[in-house]
Structure 1
């Protein structure tokens, strides 16, 4: 669950006016890992003198008495290599930390209390750590040559882990936009210096790691070091190597030199504040003239800021990294974007060999399709910053030449559509912080003048919808941490006053729905690490007591479904790096034994499906434009 960085009141520092060489109001504290003092220190960047007690806002080091660490664990905490503040889905905050050397430690501690939640002494010179949304910890070890995900969600001493071999592994950053773990290092076979992304699969108790090879990119310069979120655009990353600092565009795969003087060698950490100011540490030994930290060749007692430029020095400290003390993975969780393509499944069951482009706008982040009773289709697309656009396909199979904007709200993040038996259409949209809105299209093709809010829960992340033969519409919403909810629109067009929770699963990441001719409704949910689940609502209106798992692939990232006139149901799933898969359910309720891959394009971001009355099915896919 994302919140605006600006509402993190406890972490917001009070500064002086922006534009001068001071911290800007609304910027976060900056935390440094002091290897000399063997502790983390969070500073207020608005205080010029970091030796002043007023600059220090929080400190932590492992303790046997107050922190519940063992004496052995405390002794392993020396060469502090990485640390991040993270907010869990529950709202609780934790700090994840890694200390290197031949015998180091990785740990998760409560924040701000600093009590041990998980810890493990590890060899291999730990260089990076990240807390995953499921509570597991990712750790990168440079001399160990690996990236691991430990099952820390299972208890304070959990030892199970998954491992990905990566020589000189130096970074680990979770990306909520694509649900991948960015890492940096060298291919152990080719020795190529690379930035790549790992899919975290399996279950929280038994994680697994797989490289999303389509995300791999050779570094422009050798010696990959840090990877961090760019505060103004989730489509970009900060990346540093031994000799340079970059902004990396995930869509275009282009490295651009870091701005404002921040592009230089020996940069050990980099990030930026909400104001735009860049925060960076660089080894004092690489500076001209050299800095005053001599504890090692990689330390500094100074944190450098750019745009505006300033420095903050802690006398006697030995910082390796400094982090913008934000609890969020990135400024906003926004998916990558692509174009919309259509693949047809004939009434006979045969899929077309290829796809046809429906909309070539490469800025689309989501799409929904609905089949009208006259044999036409309506496709709704979300263009971030622009709104929702509609494009029709006639019963004769001709697509409209141009899309028409039906909603100018550029904050919309998700869309769903349901076609009514009488020829009308209901479109549902999600506006983060505001709720869910509905807009209708009459059988004549005229759109309502404005949308109507049907759910004021601003935490809703995803929406799906389906219409039933009786003319009712059912909208399903995902509320992270609170499950899946259903709200009904009756035949007269009135939405129910409240939603009903139909699934208590807290980790649902994607959702779809389809109504069948017999009046039943099927809702599919994606649970990362677990697979795809199906929940049925009987024609009489009662929901099954629990969902049934229909696909155990924990890597599925998106789902769609369509009902067929013979009573069958088709469900499509996206497996990043693998493609789109299809599985059917007969009218008698029997699922096919396995899914069939119908599209080998591993870059597909999203899917939506609709079945026509003559038995064909149209599947819209949204391939990443960068692939």
Structure 2
């Protein structure tokens, strides 16, 4: 039998929340003293809840604490129908929805965009509720018991038991992509992330391991499992009737196990088949009993989704035709960008969140440098861009949230500048791209943020403009890419938060007044929702647009800007997270991808 870590519980461990279905309240345990503190929660009029929302509250079937830009939030779902978001620790109402008690809502998660995901067992669904509108999105799942957001892969893990109570029953763990803007969400299964466990053994809980971002914990009627997201393998821990499991920073686990199935049976045995009056801790082992309680679930009050609330990471692969080369084996890379010069060399940037930015070059003979050169040590960089000029000069840009965009160059045959210079002071930026006009040799920085898309350029002598051109007023751009053609025309591509792709043309001094939609840019079952994009032009005479589509790999389209074919699959890797695109001097298209958990 595999047992959890033997690490000792520490004062750094989080308080433990436990929902009692006898007194109809959530209680809080201090793991440093193993005592219950004075904090409790239930919906009340004083906390802003209506009579309807208060009615029949039964202590909560699930509850979590989450960090948000507005402060920490408590999310609670109750089997009698209430789903709510409240301030934490005060517990005041922020949002609430009262559903049918017959649905038996079982699990709740607060998504990064502020929406709420709920799993209902008897209702047989996982549903996302928009908190800014009345919109919802549903996924049918019999005996749905769990919903957990995963920031590493940007998916919602869900679990249920299709065929429940029949000879064909099996247990299902899968991941859902949450599509669309926050005001109009959608749900779609990621086909690469489905695990089935055969047999009549109903699913109960899925939780993250705060000590290991690659591991999930699962519980069923008969077992506790750990699940490795990299190898897709289960490890069995033979404890049955566990209704919830959670992991503390120390490695200690906390579980609730139905008293009726313990030996000897616990104090809640006579009440029902699922409650307990005791929280069980493992590694080190301990029990905490509160007489008269009817606990269903208990959770560490960790405000984090996982060990690291950082998305997009993996190794980098380069493709040219049918040849695929792994160019960087570091599994922590979060962003990539690339540019090719007229000399036939390809230059790639790799960003490791929290560690800085590296540069690596592919020689004209096809050989990649064996090691990368660190060109920026800032731990705060979240995006990077690179462009090559016709004279061989490389232009690199880094985005630091709240601190603007920084620039450094590498003249042909010389090293990178030792330091960077701030060229844009925008504090609301989320994505950047770069391009050089091959005729005028002017570099351009494209930024996307709350103010839309803007273009800032430098003269051929390297003097950056003090003002930026407004390219697009859309404040919901998820990613931006840029390219140029030999005639000096500039091209910018954007993808909205809901997956629509647009193209716009420009010059050094002006951009077209409207953007044209790119065919196949909108969401569809065949091609998926676009999450990221890259573009390549000069020194080739054509534009190539590469789009990353959730769970469906890389897709490509080649066009002149006025005529675009439907997207075609370029790379089927379902774990592709981000891409680059660049043309060599001979016109060969090189595309790169971050392969998640590769």
For the structure 1 residues 202 and 387, does the alpha-carbon distance in structure 2 shift closer, same or farther, using more than 3 Å as the test?
closer
| Equivalent in the alignment of 2:348 | 379
| Equivalent in the alignment of 2:550 | 576
Structure 2 residue 171 is matched with structure 1 residue 193: yes
Residue 386 of structure 2: SS of its match in structure 1?
strand
Deviation at 1:425, TM superposition (A): 1.3
**Which of 323, 329, 336 in structure 1 is aligned with 2:305?**
329
Say if 2:501 and 2:517, in contact at 8 Å, map to a contact too. Answer: yes
Structure 2 residue 35 is matched with structure 1 residue 49: yes
| Equivalent in the alignment of 1:14 | none
Residue 80 of structure 1: SS of its match in structure 2?
coil
Q: Output the CA distance in 1 between the equivalents of 2:24 and 2:254.
A: 21
Q: How does 1:283-322 map to 2 (within 5 A)?
A: 283-294=258-269, 295-322=271-298
| Equivalent in the alignment of 1:424 | 393
**Which of 473, 479, 486 in structure 1 is aligned with 2:443?**
473
Residue 260 of structure 2: SS of its match in structure 1?
helix
**Which of 515, 518, 529 in structure 2 is aligned with 1:555?**
529
Q: How does 1:362-511 map to 2 (within 5 A)?
A: 363=331, 365=333, 366-382=335-351, 388-395=357-364, 397-400=365-368, 402-407=370-375, 409=377, 411=379, 414-429=383-398, 438-449=407-418, 462-469=431-438, 470-476=440-446, 488-493=457-462, 507-511=476-480
For the structure 1 residues 310 and 536, does the alpha-carbon distance in structure 2 shift closer, same or farther, using more than 3 Å as the test?
farther
Residue 204 of structure 2: SS of its match in structure 1?
coil
**Which of 11, 15, 18 in structure 2 is aligned with 1:24?**
11
Q: How does 1:174-189 map to 2 (within 5 A)?
A: 174-188=149-163
For the structure 1 residues 465 and 117, does the alpha-carbon distance in structure 2 shift closer, same or farther, using more than 3 Å as the test?
same
Deviation at 1:93, TM superposition (A): 4.4
| Equivalent in the alignment of 1:104 | 81
Structure 2 residue 15 is matched with structure 1 residue 35: no
For the structure 1 residues 139 and 380, does the alpha-carbon distance in structure 2 shift closer, same or farther, using more than 3 Å as the test?
same
Structure 2 residue 564 is matched with structure 1 residue 592: yes
For the structure 1 residues 524 and 544, does the alpha-carbon distance in structure 2 shift closer, same or farther, using more than 3 Å as the test?
same
Compute the TM-score of the two structures, normalised by the length of structure 1. Answer: 0.80
| Equivalent in the alignment of 1:618 | 590
For the structure 1 residues 386 and 135, does the alpha-carbon distance in structure 2 shift closer, same or farther, using more than 3 Å as the test?
closer
Deviation at 1:333, TM superposition (A): 1.1
Q: Output the CA distance in 1 between the equivalents of 2:110 and 2:388.
A: 42
Deviation at 1:566, TM superposition (A): 6.9
Q: Output the CA distance in 1 between the equivalents of 2:91 and 2:471.
A: 36
| Equivalent in the alignment of 2:3 | none
Aligned residue-pair number: 576
Q: Output the CA distance in 2 between the equivalents of 1:105 and 1:230.
A: 27
Say if 1:340 and 1:367, in contact at 8 Å, map to a contact too. Answer: no
Q: Output the CA distance in 2 between the equivalents of 1:286 and 1:510.
A: 52
- Post-superposition Cα deviations, 1:468-527, rounded to whole Å, max 9, x if no partner, equal 333333344566x67666655553445667988866655544332223445554443333
Deviation at 1:563, TM superposition (A): 2.1
Structure 2 residue 243 is matched with structure 1 residue 268: yes
| Equivalent in the alignment of 2:329 | 361
Deviation at 1:214, TM superposition (A): 0.7
Q: Output the CA distance in 2 between the equivalents of 1:115 and 1:390.
A: 48
Compute the TM-score of the two structures, normalised by the length of structure 2. Answer: 0.83
For the structure 1 residues 202 and 285, does the alpha-carbon distance in structure 2 shift closer, same or farther, using more than 3 Å as the test?
same
Structure 2 residue 111 is matched with structure 1 residue 124: no
Q: Output the CA distance in 1 between the equivalents of 2:448 and 2:249.
A: 28
Deviation at 1:384, TM superposition (A): 6.4
Q: Output the CA distance in 2 between the equivalents of 1:302 and 1:459.
A: 48
Q: Output the CA distance in 2 between the equivalents of 1:363 and 1:423.
A: 30
Q: Which 5+ residue runs of structure 1 have no aligned equivalent?
A: 1-18, 344-351
Question: Comparing 30-39 with 266-275, which one deviates more in the overlay?
Answer: 266-275
Say if 2:127 and 2:138, in contact at 8 Å, map to a contact too. Answer: yes
Residue 285 of structure 1: SS of its match in structure 2?
helix
Deviation at 1:32, TM superposition (A): 1.9
Deviation at 1:370, TM superposition (A): 0.6
Question: Comparing 319-328 with 609-618, which one deviates more in the overlay?
Answer: 609-618
- Post-superposition Cα deviations, 1:41-81, rounded to whole Å, max 9, x if no partner, equal 3444334321xxxx133x3322356423243x433422621
For the structure 1 residues 499 and 218, does the alpha-carbon distance in structure 2 shift closer, same or farther, using more than 3 Å as the test?
farther
Say if 2:337 and 2:350, in contact at 8 Å, map to a contact too. Answer: yes
Q: Output the CA distance in 2 between the equivalents of 1:499 and 1:42.
A: 52
**Which of 49, 60, 71 in structure 1 is aligned with 2:41?**
60
Deviation at 1:316, TM superposition (A): 2.7
- Post-superposition Cα deviations, 1:554-581, rounded to whole Å, max 9, x if no partner, equal 7212211112457653321111232322
Q: Output the CA distance in 2 between the equivalents of 1:323 and 1:538.
A: 56
**Which of 226, 236, 250 in structure 1 is aligned with 2:229?**
250
Residue 403 of structure 1: SS of its match in structure 2?
coil
- Post-superposition Cα deviations, 1:366-401, rounded to whole Å, max 9, x if no partner, equal 432211122221123345687654443333x42236
| Equivalent in the alignment of 1:81 | 61
Deviation at 1:119, TM superposition (A): 0.4
Q: Output the CA distance in 2 between the equivalents of 1:317 and 1:334.
A: 39
Say if 1:232 and 1:274, in contact at 8 Å, map to a contact too. Answer: yes
**Which of 169, 172, 182 in structure 1 is aligned with 2:147?**
172
Q: What is the RMSD computed on CA atoms of the aligned residues?
A: 3.7
For the structure 1 residues 230 and 436, does the alpha-carbon distance in structure 2 shift closer, same or farther, using more than 3 Å as the test?
farther
Structure 2 residue 319 is matched with structure 1 residue 342: yes
Deviation at 1:109, TM superposition (A): 3.7
| Equivalent in the alignment of 2:189 | 211
Q: Output the CA distance in 2 between the equivalents of 1:460 and 1:311.
A: 49
Say if 1:108 and 1:119, in contact at 8 Å, map to a contact too. Answer: no
Question: Comparing 203-212 with 179-188, which one deviates more in the overlay?
Answer: 203-212
Q: Which 5+ residue runs of structure 2 have no aligned equivalent?
A: 1-5
Say if 2:180 and 2:186, in contact at 8 Å, map to a contact too. Answer: yes
- Post-superposition Cα deviations, 1:436-478, rounded to whole Å, max 9, x if no partner, equal 5544332015334455666788986544322233333334456
Say if 2:408 and 2:416, in contact at 8 Å, map to a contact too. Answer: yes
Question: Comparing 365-374 with 443-452, which one deviates more in the overlay?
Answer: 443-452
